[in-house]
Structure 1
Amino acid sequence: MLGSRNDADPAGSGRSLAKAPAFEPPLECAGGIPARSGGSAGRVAAPCAGGARRYGAARRSPHDGRSAAPVRVDENHSAAKQFAERALRSVLEVMDGRRSATQLRPLAEPAVIAAVQTLVRTGGGDRRLGAAVLVNVRVVLDGTGAAEVFGGYERGGRRFAVAARIGVKRGDRRLTALRLR
Structure 2
Amino acid sequence: MPAAGTSRSPAPPAADLVLAFANTHAGGRGEQLKDRDALRDWLKAAGYPDEAATDADAAAAREFRDALQLLMLAHSGEEAASREHVARAEAHLSRVADGAPLCVVVTATGTTLVPVRHGVWGAFGAVLAGVAELDRAGMWRRVKACRNEICHEGFFDRSRNASAVYHGPGCASMVSMRAYRQRKKDAL
**Pair in the same fold by TM > 0.5:** no
* Larger relative contact order, structure 1 or 2 (CA cutoff 8 Å, min sep 6): 2
- Which of the two has greater helix per residue? 2
Give the TM-score taking structure 2 as reference length: 0.25
- Which of the two has greater strand per residue? 1
